[in-house]
């Protein structure tokens, strides 16, 4: 069943953090297989899409500047891929307000791309549920994190490149997040290229922790129980080469944060805290000229 088309749609593109990320192997296609736990957070970009009389894809970006040409923006690519996949003649204007830092391990661009696909479905009356397979393939071709942002739940366990997703329903009170972008982006490709293979026994032990972390969230265990299970293999190649990320991590630990981890391939580092007042205290200590500090929550509903 196709939905009634709309003239204009405004949609939020929330960022993510990874509470766990182990690299389980290198694939023949050059990508890496992962075991990761994605979590959507309350920091987002905004997209407004409008059908126009003029043919083509018009993209207007404001907010945090992006160092790319319009045609290289992932939102433009997502729109072009949507029109191609569904055989629709493009005639759209997309306004993107950037607030999520780029090169930050927060999936900002990936979320923008997924929001563009969702918004275009609404605009053209394409049923996203019935076209899940097609949209999923378009999303994965745009980037490994894009399929996660097509889903709606707060937490998802991801394997494969991160596109094989199982929703995780967390119970209980969730921690508050202090998120720090240390001011210098980290490009993803070189991080995976610098990664050394890990011992199979170590990976197996980490996968047990991954399952335990998922179970802890599902059963509503307090942060203190699952904080030791947070893990990101990509800290190994990133921290020695990126002093700004190392500094942000040290500051968060020094400020007394109980659980600190880099998100994705960096550059952002986050701390989870039991209370809002602890988070506020830590974020005050973190006020450094180069750092962008965000006090955010897990996003249970987008």
Report, as residue numbers or ranges, the catalytic residues: 16, 145
Which of the ranges 56-64, 139-147, 229-237, 282-290 carries the binding residues for ligand C5P, by CB under 6 A? 139-147
Q: Which residue in 161, 233, 242, 249 binds ligand C5P (CB under 6 A)?
A: 161
The residue among 138 and 252 lying less far from ligand C5P, judged by its C-beta, is 138
188 binds ligand C5P (CB under 6 A): yes
HSE-up (13 A, CA, CB side) for residue 101: 23
Name the residue number minimizing CB distance to ligand C5P.
144
The residue among 23 and 223 lying less far from ligand C5P, judged by its C-beta, is 23
- Residue 210 CA to residue 182 CA, distance in Å, equals 27
Q: Is 237:247 a contact under the CB 8 Å cutoff?
A: no
| CB of 101 vs ligand C5P, minimal distance in Å | 16
Distance of CA 111 to the CA centre of its chain: 7
Instruction: Work out the number of other CB atoms within 10 angstroms of the CB of residue 3.
Output: 14
35 binds ligand C5P (CB under 6 A): no
Q: Which residues contact 161 (CB under 8 A, 6 or more apart)?
A: 27, 31, 32, 33, 34, 140, 144
Distance of CA 243 to the CA centre of its chain: 23
Q: Which residues contact 156 (CB under 8 A, 6 or more apart)?
A: 37, 38, 148, 165, 166, 167, 168
Which of the ranges 1-9, 13-21, 28-36, 219-227 carries the binding residues for ligand C5P, by CB under 6 A? 28-36
72 binds ligand C5P (CB under 6 A): no
75 binds ligand C5P (CB under 6 A): no
| CB of 234 vs ligand C5P, minimal distance in Å | 10
The residue among 192 and 291 lying less far from ligand C5P, judged by its C-beta, is 192
Q: Which residues of 140-152 are buried (b: 16+ CB within 10 A; e: fewer)?
A: bebbbbbbbbbbe
Q: Is 154:299 a contact under the CB 8 Å cutoff?
A: yes
Q: Which two tokens stand for residue 231?
A: 């893990």
Which of the ranges 13-21, 43-51, 141-149, 224-232 carries the binding residues for ligand C5P, by CB under 6 A? 141-149
The residue among 178 and 186 lying less far from ligand C5P, judged by its C-beta, is 186
162 binds ligand C5P (CB under 6 A): yes
34 binds ligand C5P (CB under 6 A): yes
143 binds ligand C5P (CB under 6 A): yes
Q: Which two tokens stand for residue 164?
A: 């094989």
Which of the ranges 7-15, 94-102, 128-136, 186-194 carries the binding residues for ligand C5P, by CB under 6 A? 186-194
Strand ranges in 52-154 using DSSP code E only, listed in sequence order: 56-63, 91-98
The residue among 252 and 262 lying less far from ligand C5P, judged by its C-beta, is 262
| Residues of this chain that bind ligand C5P (CB under 6 A) | 31-32, 34, 143-145, 161-162, 188-189, 192
């Amino acid at each position: 069943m196709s939905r009634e088309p709309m003239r204009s749609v405004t949609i939020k593109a929330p960022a993510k953090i990874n509470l766990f990320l182990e690299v389980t192997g290198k694939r023949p296609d050059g990508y890496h297989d992962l075991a990761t736990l994605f979590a959507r957070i309350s920091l987002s970009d905004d997209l407004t899409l409008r059908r126009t009389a003029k043919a083509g894809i018009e993209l207007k970006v404001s907010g945090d500047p992006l160092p790319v040409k319009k045609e290289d923006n992932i939102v433009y690519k997502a729109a072009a891929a949507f029109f191609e996949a569904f055989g629709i003649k493009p005639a759209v204007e997309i306004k993107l307000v950037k607030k999520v830092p780029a090169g930050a391990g927060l999936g900002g661009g990936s979320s923008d791309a997924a929001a563009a696909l969702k918004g275009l479905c609404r605009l053209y009356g394409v049923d996203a549920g019935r076209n899940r397979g097609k949209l999923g393939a378009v999303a994965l071709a745009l980037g490994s994190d894009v399929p996660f942002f097509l889903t709606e739940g707060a937490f998802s366990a991801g394997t494969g490149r991160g596109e094989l997703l199982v929703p995780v329903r967390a119970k209980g009170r969730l921690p508050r997040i202090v998120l720090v972008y240390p001011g210098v982006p980290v490009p993803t490709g070189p991080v995976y290229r610098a990664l050394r293979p890990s011992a199979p026994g170590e990976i197996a032990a980490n996968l047990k922790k991954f399952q335990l972390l998922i179970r802890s969230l599902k059963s509503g265990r307090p942060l203190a129980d699952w904080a030791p299970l947070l893990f990101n293999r990509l800290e190994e190649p990133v921290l020695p080469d990126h002093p700004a990320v190392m500094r942000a991590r040290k500051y968060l630990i020094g400020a007394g944060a109980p659980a600190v981890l880099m998100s994705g391939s960096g550059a952002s580092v986050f701390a989870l805290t039991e209370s809002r007042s602890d988070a506020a205290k830590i974020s005050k200590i973190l006020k450094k000229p180069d750092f962008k500090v965000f006090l955010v929550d897990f996003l249970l509903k987008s």
